[in-house]
Every structure is written in structure tokens, then in C-alpha cells.
Structure 1
């Protein structure tokens, strides 16, 4: 069930035309998906296409002594075998996230190259050692099995904390596993901790989890010998931003490598940003054979060595608090295990700065991290981009601090919330929260829980009865922030001279706008072109709704298509809860430009000044009403011109650029997210103390993402995010043995949430428009995953409070064996 409770009067005057924006129109994408008409990259197989398979390491750390491909090459279906030695003769290593790493007392900078195939040494199970190409996928798998690799195994390190000791070094060339470190202080945290009445500390673990999309990675690469260029069809995410990972590796200019992503991609959530290895290898093979080459990742490859895992962190966090419940200071330190190579994007260790104190007023903050390498598959982005573990650790220590001073945890939160009169609110880390009434949202979720205590799931008699059965129920309300609409300028902070940032000027900030194109077709309909790729977010629906309102026509008269990486300019793309805001801004600007051109064309046709014509309801009229031209008429007139007026484009700049309150964050390369969707959660959980199993009986949530452009899409995003958050909190983990062997390489081992584990979700919405965006919308794509794990963990602690356990949910996922261990320790 969902209810909408606007914070401001939302009744429109009766004379106002009905708007498509704000309505829950069905997604235009869904028809082709549900009818089987959608074409995914796995459906693409050009004529004369060959198929690639990879020979992967079964060792976490080993020297490659010898690769014998003679038997494979003798196979009648074998077309090609390549190893790292073949690549090094013709191509480049792949870009990595930190580039040059300073080592030793002298600060010498050294490279950390990563080749598309393992070069002399393997550093994680599943790392590709050789590629083979054959006539079909089955033959390619058979040929790959004939490649014999001789290894000399080495000791591995698979624990991020242990990796800091450098007893086993993943890359000898740099001599350390700690490849990035930074401590950033805001205000005066040292004094805050010295003067506070209490200092509360906690240690928390966040296990490796990630998105596991229905569609695995896929690529079809075609080299054109005549033009010496490549066409790479694939399902990579952010194809105009990260295409450099492909063309630089191939050693070509951007315009010579056309990266195209189909309209339909079966999920990503960040996990397909790092599939460039496959794109490069298929392109190399195609160039060697002068034929199309296709690669389709299977599920085991995806889970084991697909470079799709995400944050893997150990936290030590301290909070300074006074007896009256005032939060005085926060000190965060964590180790993030990035696996074998620091891939793009390593800046997920920095994004938490955008919400560093969550919804609370805390002026003095220290934020520190160690980025370490281990013998695991490399990390990439995942929905939330590193914010989810931070919010989890922070909410856990908030509860610990409340217990320390003997205050109800909800009242403790309420006492420290940012209030509406403080908006826009500048965080210590210089990001800005745009708008919101956090106390009112907390009050509303508390009202809902009070109803549950009166004859509902938390009725005292029911709770007592369940405890007799060994099942403990509880809930802890928690507050949430979802930062939205990331810029790109801050994301290369780790590759910048950080000392020089103090003197950086605002004029040096370089942001990427959102690009949108449109053309008027001969039948009077409009076709728009997105420069970003999509993976199910409903971008085509949003643009058709917004553009229909601006042009005063029907959404059915608008088609939306996609541009490839050569035709589209470089832009940030579909990530970071960004697209609804950026697309709405770009759509408004594009429509204004198209209307101006339509009026110019009509005025020229009638030979009258532009002021004598006006656009309304899909037509241009003479002011005196004597004549009018439909969009089809205008298209016909425009077709006769040498330079078409009704083909327009628009670049919408990042909204934070217009507001000086973001200047300091921009200058210092701190994360800039100009919208802050917010809310409160209250999942009611039941813990079986006999088995350690957790059941979420109902998930209550109140959420505000500003103006809801399409409530159906907003609901879908929130429900999906919460489902992923449930998986993270209770089920999912890419565990590793001490020797680096992965424990979850099938879906029997990596447990995903399902209809049986995702609870009933009771969701309410408020609408507090953002003052920084064109439509008042805020980013909403990463919520649920950001906040649900923290809410579930704190509710588990609340449910088990009668047992006096020491923070039973001190690790994510909160697995049954972990809870049973905690309970046994308490019983002993």
C-alpha cells in the first residue's frame, strides 16, 4: 500500500491543463519487454560471427609458468588463441583507478598496469589467462578446456585487515597492499572528543555483496579493416563516460571505437561499469580475425571473476556525545578491500562524505580510509556506491550511543535531527541538503509503529506470547538520506594532487552536462535521443512524459531512442540517482529550443516578425488567428531547407553549478550531490533465537523524493531497492576462504532475495520539492539499498535487547549462524 501526503497544497487551478508529469503512466519500455520484442545484447549475433571463451585461473595467487595452447590450436573449430604476450605486442593495459601509486619513503610513483589477460601472474580465482575463439560457443568452451596452464602457486591474502600488514603483497612492484589512504577532518573533532561527556565506539563489518542482474555481461565486437575502426555492441553501463577503458586499451582514438548499448539491458546497478575487459578482448580478437566476435558471460563467470563485487569494509567508528543527548563529534575509519586491482570507480570510498552525518547535526567530523588490495576479484560500483555501509555503521553507533547515555534511541535521533529552518543545510563535508522536514517524517513513522503496538504486530500481548515460543519481535525506527544527482568533477580526487586542491579556483571545476536531442518527423511526431544508456530505470517513459507536457502533445506522439558513444558527447550517464533530475532539466531546455525553432520556421513561412506567431497545443498560430501550422506542416516546410531548424539539441548543466553554496565542495573535490531524498524506516523483525533466523514481518517506510515525476517508477525503484537491501542485510555475501578461494560461485551459494523473503512493504510518500532542480524532483534511484540494511540491523538489535546481547547485528549480512553464536555466548 502506498499513500501520498504532499507537504504543500497540490491542488491545481481548474483552468490549468492536465499534466502528464506526476502521473503514474505505464512505462513505454514494458510493452516490448513483456511481449518478448525487446532485444538484448545476447540476442545479437551478426552473420559470420565467431564466439569467444576464456581460460580462467583456478588459483588466487600464482605465477604463470607456461601456457600450452598447441592442442587447442589443433582443434578443427579453433580460430584463435591469445595470451598476455600477444596483447602486449599490439595493445595497452587497461586503465586502473589510481594510475600512479606513490611508494616508499621517497614517494616514488610507479605504475600499476592491468592487462586484459593475466601477465606472468594471476591474482584472483577467475582471472582470465587466455582467450580462445571458435565457430560457436560450445566449440569455444571445448577449445578452452584444451589449453594447459602450468602454475607455481603462491600464498594468498584474502582479508582486508590482514592485507594492511603487507606480509603477502599482491603487486610486488609497489611493495604494499595499501594503495590509497586519506584522513579528512572537518571542524575540530579532536576537541569535540576531548570535551564530550561520553565517547562511544563500535566495530562493524560489511561483507561483499553486489547486484546480480538477470542479464550477464555480453559483447559483440566487429573490426572494420577498411576504416581501421571498431563497432562494439555491449551492455556496459555509462558507455559515453567509460568508453576510454575500451579505446585506450585498444590504442585507438575515441572516434574510432563506436560503443553501442541496446535500449534494453537486463539490469546493472553499477555492476556492468567494469565489463570493459570483455569488450577489449572481443575487439582484439575481431581485429586479429577480421570477423565479428561475440562473448557471453555465464553465471559462474559472473559470480566468480566478473569484477562485479562491491564494498567489502571493516569499520571502526566513534561518536562523541553529551549527557543531554547532543551529538558532538564523529570519527570514521574503515578499510575497504578492493580486490586485486583498484578499478574504476574507487571513489565509492568518498561518496559517503555527501551524507557523512546522515540526517544529524554534527559539526566536527573525521573521515579516514585505507584502500587495500587482496587476492579477490576486483570491486566495482553497486547501487548506493559505498553509502550503504557508511549509513549502516553510523546508525549502529547511534544506537550504541543512546544506550550509553540511557536515552531512547528514537528520542536521541530526534534531538539531533536537522530541522526545516536550517535548510538548505551545509554538511561539515561541504555538500548541501536542499530541503526537507526530517522531524515530521520521524514523527509519522513513530505514529505508524504506535498503531502496530495497539493490536498489531507489536501488540505487547502478541510480543510476549511469541517470546514464549523463542521468537523475539522488535523494531527501531531510523532516518535516511539518499544523495542524488552526482557531478563528475570530484570523482578523480584520488588521481589529483590533493595538496593543491586547497588553492583550486571555482573556475577550474569541469562538469559534464546532460545531452538530449530531438527532431520533428514528417508525420508530426517527435523523436528524442538520449545520450545515456539505460538498464531498466524508465528513461524513455520520463522523457516522453516531460516532453509531451512541454510541447503540449501526447506522450504517444514521442519516441525516444539512444545514441552510441561516437554520436553522443561524453557525459556522466545513468548512475548516482541522477537521471530523473538531469533528464527533466534537459527536456525542458530542449522543448524550449524546439518551440523557438518552430516559431521561427512559421514566421519565416508567413513572412512576419516572430512576435506575430505563438506556439500552442502542438501548432504554431498567427496571433490574429488567421492561420496555423501543425507539427507535420512544419516538418514538411523544414524538409525543403538546407539546414534543418527542427533538429535541435540541448545540454543541461549540472544544477549545483548555479548555486554558490556548493562552491567549496566543488573546489576541494568533495562529493557534490545537490538533492537529498529523505525518509524514515521501521522494519518489524522477528528473530528465532533457536535457529538465528530473521523474518521481516512488515517493512514500514515514509519517503520523500521531492516532486514525483512518475509515481509508478518511484514506487518501483523504492520497492526494488528495499528488496536488494533485504538481500544485503540477511542473505547475500561473496565470501572467501583464507586462501582466496571464493565460496559463492553459483546461485545455490549466493542467496538472492525472493518473494518468500521480501516482506510486505507499507510505503507512504511526502513531496518536498527541491529548490535546485527544474521540476523539484530529487534523485531516487539508489534508495532502499542505501537505507534498508541499516534499518533491518538496528531492528534486529532492538528485538534481541531483552537478551542483553552486545550488538548482535554487528556485521552485514546478519546470518543465522552469526546470531546463534552471539546468543550462545550470552547463554554461557
Structure 2
């Protein structure tokens, strides 16, 4: 069935017909789901080449110790041992792994010291994983145990320095001032200052990190199949470690991986080690897949671990005059690639509030814990959590209703596009209306007889020691990150003050396609997927551009050598970037096909039009289908039916972002948002929190595929619930991790995910090709702050604030006891 036939089936008037023929904006079923649900999807775990050997790692149990000796003799004598590698072997032939800051040297296997429990010290390659694990136990390591650094605040004192060559545990920090924060606090009638803590969490994907590496001795190059995220952007962490140019290290990521959310950006250690092992074994394939304990304990996948101090300056009427935030970010043993997550909150530094005078101050601190990597939201969730807690406490201190305080300070719709103090720009939205709307919904459905917030029910529950409450919050999801700002911490910051706009270099999004012999389209993405539905979105977008059906479009993925470097699937980018790329690619291909038809007919290109999956002569109506054009194009050296397109990041065309770009401040040109109202019940006898129902009004601009948007929201909110109430990679005072299995690291499940009632509005972005905004990090960004604020509302009679995340039962019960003493 053709696109025209699909439209004819509707039997509608022309205007309605055209509307129905647009696949973009409709819930087209995900093309990825069939192979996943039928077991046809291939994951890294499924790839085992003939003759493949398996790698296992010896990991230290010490958080901080000097390596005195490594005895591998018994391991090497084992009949099934193919290879043993130590840090000493790596130093001879390879390079240390790239770090996020200058001056650090981290090897794929520890050399002089171990700096966190779970750090690999040796690698063993054997016939299978079970044997390799047994051989690992034969390696003997002698350590000189050192005092660990565990508390991030105490780490700042540098009494024990983790990296002697650096000389401090605080390798980076910056205090940024926008407007006149000092004046704002001097003039304020009220100053509210509080401290908050955000615990170490992460994404914990269903599929752990995995790699199959093969060295080709004939061509002196590597093929690396792995589930790394951003494979064309961070492949340098592999090829630089190996000491090879990028064209010699081909990194390929399958179409399906079992989740990432940023956590697989930092699996280059495994990719490099497997590659090194294959090279030492003259090209024998080597495979490594993390087990779950490795993933949780030392898998280089932990994320944000912060302690905050927040100050608000306010007038008597509740107008917020100034904001001052300071935080310590515990990055673990090494400052990895995502040191810039300390800066991303600048993109929403004042949340949804109109605050012009802001101070943003942070210290990046090292401790003897697993290194941080990226995780959904990339530093924004804890910042918004701390800000919203401060707003709740300010409301209490000024005796103002928290919702009224928020409402009074919201950015107004007539201020859009709104440039925040730190020079990022919010593109569109009506925040007051959204907050009113979600409150109206809850009032109508729950603040009524028999509702969850029926005053009589609330009072009766309180007599039982169960406190119910709801808070109305509006949180912003910054979307579509630029790339130029992400190396600010490795830049000369003084030089940035005189930097010219022309020096800014952003990364485009690459898309390519060709018309196949049967008239269908084969498209290729340069960015890998983590399950967001990119193949479906590309099919929808290109179907509209080329006036064909999504089923006539197949989408694959390019490896790191074939593809150009793109930023890829992170920072809520892909919906917007793929929209622009598909639009540009479609226009380019249609232009080529018109030229091809004109050449064949021997007429001027202006006398040829593209329509319904083919080209037509204006004068006669003669037509070439896409299959015809593929056949005509077969003998041409410069094929017209094969095109590629690089879509430039939206900010490159927007002068509104010039100030942020010049100074390498975070640029995020879309501002999706959510007005949330989770209804919670806190059992004061146990400290247990139950979310009875979660109401959310969400806006991501134009919804390219509403089902995918809905799925992203559900998944994000599930992660937000886990962050708020359950998950934490805790460490004891001796530096030992306390969450190394799922008995310790608690995940949300059907038992604690409440009914979610989601509503949607659409305020299209004026900055993007389709009006879409980023939506990949929502839920995790807005959920924790919303839940914590509702806990505050429930426990307001006791004067309790959820000043620690996660708000676990023991923490809340302790606060209740203190309040009742």
C-alpha cells in the first residue's frame, strides 16, 4: 500500500486527510519491539565467535592500598590459562585511560595503588568464564594497606591524599556569580539557609557491560563489539588507551542493548582490556561480561553523590531575590569523563523560578569509592531536589503556603523565551497554568469525599500514625545539550572571558540513507541506541518527508570508523536532533531525485516535482517511482539515490545563546517540564513511605510518538521513585561498599510503583524543526524532588523535612523520634 493509498483509506476531506497522513505525532508501534519480544534481538551477551576465550578480573578488596607485589605464577601454570595480564604488562605496551581532568593517570589495571574496592588488579583469559574465575583465585597480591578517604567533606582537608602526584583531594571547583547575589542577600528581609544530601545512585541496567574484542594481526587493527554508550564520541577512551589511531579500532554497538541511561559510557576499561588480551593472543577473540556483583561494586557506573548548602534571599511577600548554592560532589577515586555533570545544573540553575541574582559554587572531591559516571539527568536531579527543599523550608519560615510561594516566583509565559541568569534559554511553556492545572485535577479527584486527600480520611489516618500529603512542584528538563561547553573544566577559564563566538564548535547529528532496488529506504544512524526507539522515530520522520510508509524504511547503525563523530544518544537530544537530520536528509534526497528524473527526461529540474514516493513531470504527469529511480541511478558514478546529511545543533543558529556559548556554560535549547503531584503516606511508626498515586502533567513540546513519550515518562518516574526512596550505594567508614547485590541495592518494582496518572500539554519549541523538546531524562529529573516535597507536606505538622535522599524508613523514623522527643 502506498502513502497515497493510506490517505485515501481515510475517506476524509483534504485538510483532515493531510493531517491523518502525518505519521509524526502519532503512536506508530515501535519497530524494535517485534524482534525484542520474539527473542530475535541480539545482545552482546549473545555474541561468541568461534574459538572465543573468556576473561575474568581479579578485583581488590581494599579501598586504599599500595601494591607491593603481584604473583601470577600459579595462575600461569594452570593448564587452561591462556593469558594473565597485570598493570605492569600494560605500562610496557599501552597507555593510561583518558581522565576528565589533567594530571591523573588511571590504568585499565591498577599499577602502583588500588583506590577503591573492586578496582581490577589482574586479568585472566581462559577457555571459559568459570575456569577463568578459578584461575583468578590463584593470583597472590601483597598490599600495604593505607587509610581510606570516605567522607567527602573530610576529604577536603587533604589529611590523606589519594593521588600524591596531584597533591589534593579537591582537583577542581569553581564559584560562578550571575547578577549581584551579594546585593540580593544584603537587601533581603529573610535569608533561609539549609543543608541537604543526595546519596550515590545509578541506573543499574538490565544488561551489564559486555565486550567481544578481536585483534587482526594482518592489518594491525581491532574490532570491538560492545554495549558502550556514545560509541562515536567516547571511542577515544578505547583507541587512545590502546595507542592506536581511531581508524584502527572499529567499535560496533548492536541495535539492542539492555539499558544504559549513561552508565555504559564508562565501560572502556573492559573494551581496552579485552582488546589487549586478544592482541597478546595473536587475534583470538576475547569476551568479557560483568556479573552483577562486579557491576554494582566496581563497574565504574555509580553516579552523583552530593552534599548541598542552599541559601535563599526573600522579601516579606515571598519574592525570591537571590539564590546561593554550594555543593561537594564525591567523584570517587578518579575524575572520569563526566566531570561536567557538576556544571549541567547551570542550565536550570534557578529551576522554574524568575531569579536573576545567583551564585553557583562547587568542589569536585575524590574519595576511595568507585568512580562516577553519567546517569539519567546528569547532575540536574540533585540540584532541583535541593532547590525545591529550600523552597519548602522558606515557605515554612515565612508562613506562606508552599504552592503559593512557588506560584509567585514562576517564570511567566510572556517572558518566553526566557534567558536565565546563567545564560541558558527556556524556549516555551506556561508554568503557572501547568501548576494550576495539576492542582485542579487533584482537587477534583482526591480532595473530595472518599478521595485520597479527603480531610476526614487524612485526619483518621493521622490518628493511626499515618500522615498523608501532596505538594505541587514544577520541574524543568533541559534538553538537547550542546557539546562545546563540556570541556569547560579542561579549558583556560581566563581565556574564556575574551573568547569569540566563532571559536565555538558544536557536533552535528549524522543521518544517511539510500533508495534500494525495490524502492524501499535503508537509513543509517551514527548514534547508538539504548532502547529509546530511534529506529521507529527515524521511520516516522522520513516517511513524512518522503511521503511513503514507515514500513518502507529500515534503519541500521554505523560503527565508529564508518560514522563521523556525533554527540549521540544522551542529554535528551535525539528526538530534536533526529527531527532536524531527517528533515534535512529528506529535502536533500528529494532534490537529488528530481535532478535524476530531469536528467532521464531531458528537461529542466524545475519541471519535475516530488510527490508520494516518486517524481513526476509537471507537463505530462509521467512518473518514476523510487524503484524506477534506483534502477536509473545504477550506472552513475555519483549516485543520486544515496545521500547523507549533517544536522547542526540548533544553538548554532540562535544568537540568544551567544553568551553561554562564548563562556562554555551549558546550552540546552529546549525546556520540557512537568507539574507533579505525588500523593504520599508516611507511616510514622516505621518511617515507611507509600506513594498512593502519582499525578503528573508533562510537556515536551510536539510529541513525535506519544506512546514512546508515555513510556519514557513511566520509566523515568520509576527511576525517580527508586532514587527518592530506595536506592543508594552506601559505604561504611572503612570504605567497604554496602550494596553489592540486589538484596542491598533496592530497586523499584510493581510493589512500590504507584498508579501513575499522566496528562500532557504541548507548547512547541520555537527552536527546533518539529517543535519537539527533549524528553529522555524526565521523570528521573522531576520525580525525586516532587516526592520529597510531598513527604515534607505530609510531615509538616511534625516540622520534618526530607533533607536526605533517599528518604529511607530508618532516616525518616529517626527524624520522627527526634521530633517527638
Normalised by the shorter chain, which TM-score bucket? Answer: over 0.9
The reply to whether residue 382 of structure 1 matches residue 375 of structure 2 is yes
Structure 1 match to 2:333: 340
RMSD between superposed Cα atoms in Å: 0.9
Structure 1 match to 2:8: none
Structure 2 match to 1:577: 572
Displacement of 1:722 in angstroms is: 0.4
Q: Deviations over 1:196-225 (max 9, x none)?
A: 000001100000000010000000111011
**2:273 & 2:363 partners in 1: Cα distance?**
32
Equivalent runs, 1:155-554 vs 2, <5 Å: 155-290=147-282, 291-451=284-444, 452-455=446-449, 456-554=451-549
**2:15 & 2:627 partners in 1: Cα distance?**
32
Specify the SS of the correspondent of 1:279: helix
Q: What is the TM-score normalised by the length of structure 2?
A: 0.97
**1:200 & 1:12 partners in 2: Cα distance?**
60
2:44 to 41, 46, 49: 41
Specify the SS of the correspondent of 1:178: coil
Displacement of 1:12 in angstroms is: 9.4
The reply to whether residue 72 of structure 1 matches residue 81 of structure 2 is no
Structure 2 match to 1:827: 820
**1:739 & 1:380 partners in 2: Cα distance?**
23
The reply to whether residue 53 of structure 1 matches residue 48 of structure 2 is no
Q: Figure out how many residues of one structure are paired with residues of the other and give that number.
A: 805
Displacement of 1:679 in angstroms is: 2.3
The reply to whether residue 28 of structure 1 matches residue 31 of structure 2 is yes
Specify the SS of the correspondent of 2:264: coil
Q: Deviations over 1:124-179 (max 9, x none)?
A: 00000000100111111111111111111111011111111111111111121001
**1:804 & 1:559 partners in 2: Cα distance?**
58
Q: Deviations over 1:759-802 (max 9, x none)?
A: 10111000000000000000000000001100100100110111
Displacement of 1:15 in angstroms is: 5.0
Matched-pair contact (CA < 8 Å) for 2:674–2:782: no
Name stretches of at least 5 consecutive residues in structure 2 with no aligned partner. Answer: 1-12
Structure 2 match to 1:771: 766
The reply to whether residue 637 of structure 1 matches residue 632 of structure 2 is yes
**1:535 & 1:14 partners in 2: Cα distance?**
36
2:641 to 615, 640, 646: 646
Equivalent runs, 1:78-89 vs 2, <5 Å: 78-89=81-92
**1:625 & 1:427 partners in 2: Cα distance?**
57
Name stretches of at least 5 consecutive residues in structure 1 with no aligned partner. Answer: 1-10, 100-110
**2:160 & 2:786 partners in 1: Cα distance?**
37
Matched-pair contact (CA < 8 Å) for 2:202–2:303: yes
Specify the SS of the correspondent of 2:714: helix
Structure 1 match to 2:98: 95
Moved beyond 4 Å, runs of 4+: none
**1:764 & 1:646 partners in 2: Cα distance?**
42
Displacement of 1:542 in angstroms is: 0.1
Displacement of 1:449 in angstroms is: 2.2
Structure 2 match to 1:16: 18
The reply to whether residue 150 of structure 1 matches residue 142 of structure 2 is yes
Q: Deviations over 1:286-341 (max 9, x none)?
A: 10102111101100000000010000000001000000111000000000000000
**2:635 & 2:563 partners in 1: Cα distance?**
27
Matched-pair contact (CA < 8 Å) for 2:721–2:783: yes
Displacement of 1:457 in angstroms is: 0.5
**2:192 & 2:621 partners in 1: Cα distance?**
77
Structure 1 match to 2:775: 780
Q: Deviations over 1:663-713 (max 9, x none)?
A: 000000000000000121000000001000000000000011000000000
**1:12 & 1:271 partners in 2: Cα distance?**
48
The reply to whether residue 746 of structure 1 matches residue 745 of structure 2 is no
Structure 2 match to 1:6: none
1:588 to 573, 583, 591: 583
Specify the SS of the correspondent of 1:698: strand
**1:669 & 1:126 partners in 2: Cα distance?**
35
Displacement of 1:402 in angstroms is: 1.2
Displacement of 1:469 in angstroms is: 1.3
Greater shift, 400-409 or 308-317, is seen at 400-409
**2:572 & 2:382 partners in 1: Cα distance?**
17
Specify the SS of the correspondent of 2:652: helix
**1:696 & 1:357 partners in 2: Cα distance?**
27
Q: Deviations over 1:229-260 (max 9, x none)?
A: 10111000000000000000100001010000
**2:55 & 2:377 partners in 1: Cα distance?**
33
**2:185 & 2:65 partners in 1: Cα distance?**
46
Matched-pair contact (CA < 8 Å) for 1:438–1:679: no
Specify the SS of the correspondent of 1:743: coil
Equivalent runs, 1:102-117 vs 2, <5 Å: 111-117=103-109
**2:351 & 2:706 partners in 1: Cα distance?**
25
**2:720 & 2:198 partners in 1: Cα distance?**
13
Displacement of 1:626 in angstroms is: 4.2
**1:34 & 1:390 partners in 2: Cα distance?**
38
Q: Deviations over 1:739-776 (max 9, x none)?
A: 11000000110000001111101110000000000000
**2:337 & 2:143 partners in 1: Cα distance?**
29
